């Protein structure tokens, strides 16, 4: 019996040892966390991870030399850089408020190596002076998105766009397109519009302004006016806007020398003023009221014949357009052109002021025909030449889908619709 007991005891011990050995072989794997690799960030053609990056904004009084000096670039090196790149980029023209980026080495010296100046949201200039000095101008990739908008005027075009949260630059562009055919100072409630335009986006998300209006429709006083953008390759690839019958919307003269102003006093040879005892005091101009400093535009191409200050006219500019027509712009705060200078239609020639005899900020616009002051709104002013016959069929083919799209847009006030 004792022998059997010993055998059983030995068996239990052996079994226990085997179990312990078996359990000892269980290995818990060690969890090793993998190091996360930072994402590669590229901008302006450089991998920013490879540099210490400084982003800032040009401040009033800043200069390229002062910025470089702050980051350890000697005056001798600055002179060498500016002299080398002068044909590509004039560093003296950097403007306050513009952003810039400086790329510096990641070693202990933190030496400045690349300067990037952002001219605007799209255009930028790179100055790379790591070894040899290189300057180049470039553009960020831009996506064009086509949009549509429509609206009904309650007070003014700008107010309607503001109420509908539409891009105000579209309104400005529309005013330019119809500047020869619609007096925007006399819009009526109920006037309405439709427009197809493209807008620029950087990285598909950052708005970068309106690209162009492709087509539009404006109904003023019940009269519909279509406008289609078209390139005339017979005249140096010039781009203009034409109605559905291929008539150029541009005229020899703009209807007003100021955008989005109002007429405060019209041409009136029988005007009577209470202050002067209701005696007839003819008003041979048209007054456009606008805030001081508002740009005044040349209503047609021509040569500046006068730019001076004289008596009740105050500071003024006079332009000779051809053998028939002259225009004059009175009461400026300052002139922007000199005698003998050629100006194009729409060029800024001065700014609204209150010089001379005036009771408020405005420009008195005077219009001469054959040496006699006349009312410009009662003149049958010449239009630009229509599209050449050889281009008309191509034009009609071009506008057909645009007109169909315009006609299908509802006048119900709405925000811009993205066309996918």
pLDDT surpasses 50 at 419? no
Helices and strands: H and E segment counts in the chain: 6, 25
Instruction: Provide the percentage of residues in the chain whose pLDDT is more than 90.
Output: 50
Pick the more confident residue, 5 or 234: 234
Question: What is the mean predicted confidence (pLDDT) over 116-144?
Answer: 92
Q: Does residue 306 register a pLDDT over 90? A: yes
The confidence score (pLDDT) of residue 203 equals 79
Per mean pLDDT, which range of 11-20, 216-225, 277-286 is the poorest? 11-20
pLDDT higher than 70, residue 408 = yes
Residue 417: pLDDT band with limits 50, 70, 90? very low
Q: What is the DSSP string of 201-224?
A: EETTTEEEEEEEEEEEEEEETTEE
pLDDT at position 206 over 60: yes
pLDDT tens-digit series, residues 319-350: 998 878 899 999 999 999 999 999 988 899 99
Query: What domains sit in the chain, N to C, each tagged with a CATH number?
Result: 42-139 (3.10.450.350), 143-251+387-418 (3.10.450.350), 262-378 (2.70.70.10)
Q: What is the dihedral of CA 357, 363, 366, 367, to 10 degrees?
A: 180
Confirm if 308 and 283 have CB atoms less than 8 A apart: no
Binned at pLDDT 50, 70 and 90, residue 308 comes out as very high
Out of 97-111, 177-191, 304-318, 357-371, least confident range: 177-191
Gap between the Cα atoms of 66 and 69, Å rounded: 5
Q: In terms of pLDDT, which residue wins out, 165 or 19?
A: 165
pLDDT at 273: 54
pLDDT band at 370 (very low <50, low <70, confident <90, very high): confident
- What tens digit of pLDDT does each residue of 354-367 get? 999 888 899 999 99
Dump pLDDT digits (tens) for 72-112.
999 999 999 999 999 999 999 899 999 999 999 999 889 99
Distance CA(89)–CA(92), nearest Å, equals: 9
Q: Which residues of 259-269 are buried (b: 16+ CB within 10 A; e: fewer)?
A: bbbebbeebee
pLDDT at 420: 40
Q: What pLDDT does residue 90 have?
A: 92
In Å, what is the CA distance from 415 to each residue of 71, 151, 163, 331, 337? 47, 9, 10, 40, 40
Cβ proximity of 126 and 377 under 8 Å: no
């Amino acid at each position: 019996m004792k022998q059997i007991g010993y055998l059983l005891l030995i068996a239990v011990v052996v079994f226990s040892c085997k179990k312990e050995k078996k359990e000892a072989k269980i290995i818990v794997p060690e969890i090793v966390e993998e190091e996360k690799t930072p994402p590669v960030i590229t901008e302006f053609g450089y991998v920013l991870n490879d540099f210490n990056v400084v982003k800032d904004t040009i401040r009033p009084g800043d200069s390229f030399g002062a910025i470089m000096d702050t980051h350890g670039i000697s005056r001798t090196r600055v002179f060498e850089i500016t002299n080398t790149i002068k044909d590509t980029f004039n560093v003296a023209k950097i403007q306050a408020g513009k952003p810039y980026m400086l790329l510096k080495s990641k070693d202990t010296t933190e030496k400045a190596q690349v300067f990037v100046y952002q001219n605007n949201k799209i255009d930028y200039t790179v100055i790379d002076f790591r070894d040899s000095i290189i300057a180049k101008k470039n553009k960020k990739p831009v996506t064009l998105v086509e949009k549509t908008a429509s609206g009904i005027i309650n007070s003014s075009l700008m107010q309607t766009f503001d109420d509908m949260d539409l891009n105000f630059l579209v309104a400005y562009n529309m005013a330019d397109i119809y500047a020869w055919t619609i007096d925007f100072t006399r819009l009526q409630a109920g006037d309405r519009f439709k427009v197809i335009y493209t807008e620029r986006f950087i990285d598909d998300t950052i708005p970068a302004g309106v690209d162009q209006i492709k087509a539009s429709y404006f109904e003023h006083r019940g009269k519909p006016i279509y406008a289609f953008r078209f390139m005339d390759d017979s005249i140096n690839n010039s781009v203009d806007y034409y109605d559905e019958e291929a008539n150029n919307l541009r005229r020899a003269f703009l209807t007003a020398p100021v955008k989005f102003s109002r007429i405060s006093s019209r041409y009136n040879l029988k005007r009577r003023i209470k202050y002067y005892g209701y005696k007839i005091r003819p008003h041979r101009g048209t007054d456009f009221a606008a805030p001081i400093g508002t740009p005044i535009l040349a209503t047609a191409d021509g040569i500046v014949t006068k730019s001076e200050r004289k008596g009740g006219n105050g500071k003024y500019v006079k332009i000779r357009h051809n053998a028939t027509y002259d225009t004059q712009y009175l009461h400026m705060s300052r002139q922007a052109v000199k005698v003998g200078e050629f100006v194009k239609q729409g060029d800024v020639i001065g700014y609204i002021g209150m010089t001379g005899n005036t009771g408020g900020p405005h420009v008195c616009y005077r219009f001469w025909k054959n040496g006699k002051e006349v009312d410009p709104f009662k003149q049958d002013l010449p239009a630009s030449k229509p599209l050449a016959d050889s281009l008309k069929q191509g034009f009609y083919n071009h506008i057909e889908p645009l007109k169909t799209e315009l006609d299908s847009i509802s006048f119900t006030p709405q925000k811009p619709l993205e066309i996918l």
